[in-house]
Chain A
């Protein structure tokens, strides 16, 4: 059944209100204007008035234009035919190739029943010690990269994407610069993964409402692959652009903003997307990595702040390095107990000592005398930054752990690093005779 309506009574921002009875909430419509046609989605029903957000924006929409309601919510094509393809935020091909005509699924499926989720237990190796040793990435994790504009966050995203060895890679670009889009394509092509990659790209030049759809399209497609047993990796960049698009719509709908203009349901809106990361009990999984640029390098800004409360940790990218402070993988303990017996001990000790080093540096910078202990911490900090933190370092986990032990042994006595005796005995790279328990006994004598 096709329903046409043409009594447009309000146009504001990206929202058009039309008189139309019998329309379902969240339903899609096509609006035809002089510029062509665009999809639109119902966002409010009031008696016979229907408000819709127009995907391509309301520029040029006139009160004489017509809307045709489709009687269904937003849908997207799925399946293997999508592999290697590139689409825009409305789901139309962007690569000049024909439309994909496969089975359609609704976007924004209901929540997964927690009973049907597995406990994630597979580490995703990245070759980056700051991730593998200190904040292991785990299959089905949802994890953002927090960074300021200008940091190589898209490069990091692409690098992890390549190393992660997923069956299907889905890239969602929101407000992406065209150059960045080309760069992703190039990287994936060189890495030989383009054939199992699907891209939904909204560039800064495209209508803002389409930006809002990108995550939903990516996640709906990814979810279908995961249900078929595939291990999916979804990369979303930049979720701040997505949030700003939400803000824009909320303001047009005259919602009362809660914090710096963002709507009160920002948390819910973001959570509904991030929670699509899943390890199905009896099917595949979807891992979700996202970029969140922090306006003004401020982590308390509503977008990174709400994101942090939703995701399973975050990687802070600053000065081209993944910061040990603030970076966190909340799922690391699901996997780092089974890697090697010293993994957790090293992880804690190295960070605690690096924190102390930072204090010593502050003291030094203020011109205070350095105690022998401070000197050791300073030495440690330099080694740690150069041999472990640098993003150029690309070594497997065990090698990275060994390297940490070497740095510790070079800078400290065994009793100073806060690791229990049994582990030190097994891993300390130097002979233990002249230190540790012996020294304690000596001093007591």
Chain B
């Protein structure tokens, strides 16, 4: 013990140290019943350190011992992360439940990886080979992936492989190689290593410009406001607008190798849904359960606030680790506002000068640095890996003019803004097609997307106008524009997340349907009156809606498609 507590205020503890204090290093506050509460140095003043404690501080006393460490909050990296359910500090929750029962237990920490599992190791490096941080020494099969065992990322300089273990089964704690550094000192390597979560992990040759579309199978995203592998996007929206549902369906259907779900300060029930459902859902692309490609990091809203701040970084670190293996990772953080609020709570307790809405002045730079951890990289062996980050934002009062939304919009590549009026009218997903944007190119030709956006804008203008001059004051041409815009909205933008077929539309089908919808939008009609126009558009909308519910190439699908084609061929203005 090299320190003791002098003050306690919420999750903030001030401690005096007799030795060295390292900013952002971890420390343990020892409660009188022996529990050691993990904490992090967040400010140093003289021999006093302010610590944010990752647990409830109930029962801590002035004078209780503090054990200051030198290392920063680490994540444990190695085979066995996939399919795990961790809390924000990477404690495996199933193991915690075995040991502690219904409730979490402050001060109880369990190693993130199973230490008795044996992994089938195949060496790839040979003695004498020159290696450096991130170089692959061998591989183990982990579920559906080939997991690379790499030289610890924090080792600096060049090493020579002295020996590599023979093929065989090893635990993460056993030595699988020995490396020699420039001075000739030998360093043993195991299959697990640690990395400080708040430091970006990137051992690559170079960063690439992300441009491969990441297909989420949500039509409005892929076709209108696309996301790319290695890109970033955000989903701001008022409560209940559908942020979490959107992330949940993305986590299921996205065409990506690995999904990391960071449930940050949100409802426990939502995590439970994922935990209970994923093991039973089969990923059609692999034939295995979805859990095989998923890692869940959860710090729900009732869990200690300080650990919430850490949880998104833990998630990002695990994502970066798999990216180092040439895999494509999608990190979904719900909600980044809770993470920002955790920063605000700490900043308030530290009595820092507050910025807007009492958020700390460094809020924007923290948000930027977090999204900056996304990216597509080219590894030393030429393979390419990526991490895409999608974060939800929960703005107070649903008003996007607030610091977290604004700070996020400055740095992300796509913005999927959810609107209250769309969700109230059950137009899901409630992404506002007029406000949202994406800087990326997706699966549909930009030229076609622009035409549709133009139609939507004009349709909206007509609707606006109609609220002033009424339907009777609107020309039939304008009226048809509004009907066409509504048609596109109804049959393409809206998608039923709870229907087996409609919930996910693969890229090919999206492109196909988009073209069909565009053909209808391009049709010229000779309508006698508005009622006939409306009826006609209702009819074709109804057909497309039925098409959406029909499995590709089913009887129903073919039948409906032929009716649609007949409509397109016969119902327009006769030339």
Q: Which residues of A approach B to under 8 Å, CB–CB?
A: 21-27, 44-48, 73, 108-120, 140, 227, 255-259, 263-265, 267-268, 271-272, 275-276, 278, 280, 283, 300, 302, 305-306, 308-310, 312-314, 325-326, 328, 330-331, 333, 337, 344, 348, 351-352, 355, 362-363, 366-369, 371-374, 415-416, 418, 420-421, 440, 443-444
A residues less than 8 Å from B354 (CB atoms): 256
Interface size on B, residues (CB 8 A): 86
A residues less than 8 Å from B348 (CB atoms): 255-256, 263-265
B residues less than 8 Å from A351 (CB atoms): 425-426
* CB atoms of A114 and B61 under 8 A apart: no
* CB atoms of B103 and A112 under 8 A apart: yes
- Known A-B contacts A109-B103, A352-B425; the reply to A337 vs B271 at CB < 8 A is no
* 11 additional contacts (CB under 8 A) given A22-B63, A275-B300: A45-B60, A110-B105, A113-B100, A113-B104, A114-B272, A268-B345, A275-B268, A275-B301, A305-B398, A368-B473, A420-B545
- Known A-B contacts A25-B8, A46-B7, A415-B538; the reply to A330 vs B58 at CB < 8 A is no
B553 at interface, CB cutoff 8 A: no
* CB atoms of B272 and A355 under 8 A apart: no
A residues less than 8 Å from B102 (CB atoms): 112-113, 116, 227, 280, 283
* CB atoms of A267 and B301 under 8 A apart: yes
* CB atoms of A115 and B85 under 8 A apart: yes
- Known A-B contacts A115-B275, A256-B348, A368-B470; the reply to A444 vs B106 at CB < 8 A is no
In angstroms, Cα B473 to Cα A367, docked, is 12
B566 at interface, CB cutoff 8 A: yes
In angstroms, Cα B100 to Cα A108, docked, is 17
B236-271: which have CB < 8 Å to A?
A: 238-240, 265, 267-269, 271
A residues less than 8 Å from B397 (CB atoms): 300, 305
* CB atoms of B425 and A371 under 8 A apart: no
Q: How far is the CB of A44 from chain B (nearest CB, A)?
A: 5
Q: Which of B6, B61, B93, B498 contacts A344 (CB 8 A)?
A: B498
A residues less than 8 Å from B220 (CB atoms): none
- Known A-B contacts A111-B268, A111-B300, A114-B93; the reply to A48 vs B62 at CB < 8 A is yes
* CB atoms of B498 and A310 under 8 A apart: no
* CB atoms of B62 and A362 under 8 A apart: no
Closest partner residue, chain B, to A250 (CB atom) = B348
Closest partner residue, chain B, to A308 (CB atom) = B239
B571 at interface, CB cutoff 8 A: yes
- Known A-B contacts A24-B58, A113-B102, A116-B101; the reply to A305 vs B396 at CB < 8 A is yes
Chain B 528-571 per-residue mask, 1 if CB under 8 angstroms from chain A, else 0: 00110011101100100110010000000000000100110011
In angstroms, Cα B548 to Cα A418, docked, is 13
Residue contacts A-B, CB under 8 angstroms, 8 given: A22-B62, A26-B57, A44-B8, A45-B8, A112-B268, A116-B97, A300-B397, A362-B467
* CB atoms of B7 and A47 under 8 A apart: yes
B residues less than 8 Å from A337 (CB atoms): 498
A residues less than 8 Å from B472 (CB atoms): 368-369
In angstroms, Cα B206 to Cα A133, docked, is 55
Q: How far is the CB of A417 from chain B (nearest CB, A)?
A: 10
* CB atoms of B272 and A366 under 8 A apart: no
In angstroms, Cα B62 to Cα A230, docked, is 40
* CB atoms of B59 and A24 under 8 A apart: yes
B residues less than 8 Å from A271 (CB atoms): 265, 301-302
In angstroms, Cα B8 to Cα A213, docked, is 21
Q: Which of A272, A374, A421 contacts B302 (CB 8 A)?
A: A272
In angstroms, Cα B471 to Cα A312, docked, is 39
* CB atoms of B268 and A25 under 8 A apart: no
In angstroms, Cα B60 to Cα A46, docked, is 12
- Known A-B contacts A258-B344, A275-B300; the reply to A119 vs B273 at CB < 8 A is yes
B residues less than 8 Å from A46 (CB atoms): 6-7, 9, 62
In angstroms, Cα B345 to Cα A113, docked, is 24
* CB atoms of A256 and B58 under 8 A apart: no
* CB atoms of B498 and A110 under 8 A apart: no
* CB atoms of A421 and B358 under 8 A apart: no
In angstroms, Cα B93 to Cα A348, docked, is 37
* CB atoms of B424 and A355 under 8 A apart: yes
Q: How far is the CB of A15 from chain B (nearest CB, A)?
A: 13
B181 at interface, CB cutoff 8 A: no
* CB atoms of B93 and A272 under 8 A apart: no
Q: How far is the CB of B131 from chain A (nearest CB, A)?
A: 39
* CB atoms of B302 and A275 under 8 A apart: yes
- Known A-B contacts A111-B303, A420-B549; the reply to A444 vs B239 at CB < 8 A is no
Q: Which residues of B approach A to under 8 Å, CB–CB?
A: 6-10, 32, 56-63, 85, 93-94, 96-97, 100-106, 238-240, 265, 267-269, 271-273, 275-277, 298, 300-303, 305, 338, 341, 344-345, 348, 354, 357-359, 394, 396-399, 424-426, 466-467, 470-473, 490, 498, 530-531, 534-536, 538-539, 542, 545-546, 549, 563, 566-567, 570-571
Q: Which of A22, A114, A140, A268 contacts B305 (CB 8 A)?
A: A268
- Of A115, A310, A421, A444, which is in contact with the most chain B CB atoms at under 10 Å from its CB? A115
In angstroms, Cα B305 to Cα A47, docked, is 24
Q: How far is the CB of B501 from chain A (nearest CB, A)?
A: 11
Q: How far is the CB of B101 from chain A (nearest CB, A)?
A: 7
A residues less than 8 Å from B58 (CB atoms): 24-26, 73, 108
* CB atoms of A21 and B63 under 8 A apart: yes
A residues less than 8 Å from B8 (CB atoms): 25, 44-45
Closest partner residue, chain A, to B546 (CB atom) = A420
Closest partner residue, chain A, to B63 (CB atom) = A22
**When A and B form their complex, which 5 residue pairs have the shortest distance between CB atoms, in order from nearest?**
A368-B470, A300-B397, A271-B301, A275-B302, A308-B239
* CB atoms of B545 and A418 under 8 A apart: yes
Closest partner residue, chain A, to B57 (CB atom) = A25
A residues less than 8 Å from B305 (CB atoms): 265, 268
* CB atoms of A259 and B301 under 8 A apart: no
Closest partner residue, chain B, to A350 (CB atom) = B426
Q: How far is the CB of A289 from chain B (nearest CB, A)?
A: 16
A residues less than 8 Å from B238 (CB atoms): 308
Q: Which of A25, A314, A369 contacts B60 (CB 8 A)?
A: A25
Q: Which of A23, A118, A326 contacts B272 (CB 8 A)?
A: A118
B residues less than 8 Å from A369 (CB atoms): 470-472
B residues less than 8 Å from A325 (CB atoms): 424-425
* CB atoms of A44 and B272 under 8 A apart: no
In angstroms, Cα B240 to Cα A264, docked, is 21
* CB atoms of B9 and A114 under 8 A apart: no
- Of A48, A256, A280, A443, which is in contact with the most chain B CB atoms at under 10 Å from its CB? A256
B residues less than 8 Å from A119 (CB atoms): 272-273, 276-277
* CB atoms of B531 and A117 under 8 A apart: no
Q: Which of B358, B424, B539 contacts A415 (CB 8 A)?
A: B539
In angstroms, Cα B269 to Cα A115, docked, is 10
Q: Which of A26, A259, A309, A372 contacts B239 (CB 8 A)?
A: A309
* CB atoms of B272 and A117 under 8 A apart: yes
A residues less than 8 Å from B85 (CB atoms): 114-115
In angstroms, Cα B267 to Cα A111, docked, is 11
B residues less than 8 Å from A114 (CB atoms): 85, 93, 268, 271-272, 275, 298, 300
Q: How far is the CB of A50 from chain B (nearest CB, A)?
A: 9
In angstroms, Cα B359 to Cα A98, docked, is 49
Closest partner residue, chain B, to A373 (CB atom) = B534
* CB atoms of A120 and B269 under 8 A apart: yes
Closest partner residue, chain A, to B531 (CB atom) = A372
In angstroms, Cα B565 to Cα A69, docked, is 81
Q: How far is the CB of A422 from chain B (nearest CB, A)?
A: 9
B residues less than 8 Å from A305 (CB atoms): 239, 396-398
* CB atoms of A45 and B301 under 8 A apart: no
Q: How far is the CB of A144 from chain B (nearest CB, A)?
A: 11
- Known A-B contacts A45-B61, A362-B467; the reply to A117 vs B103 at CB < 8 A is no
* CB atoms of B542 and A415 under 8 A apart: yes
B residues less than 8 Å from A306 (CB atoms): 396
In angstroms, Cα B334 to Cα A304, docked, is 20
B residues less than 8 Å from A421 (CB atoms): 546
* CB atoms of A352 and B426 under 8 A apart: yes
Q: Which of A312, A314, A330, A363 contacts B467 (CB 8 A)?
A: A363
- Of B103, B275, B542, which is in contact with the most chain A CB atoms at under 10 Å from its CB? B542
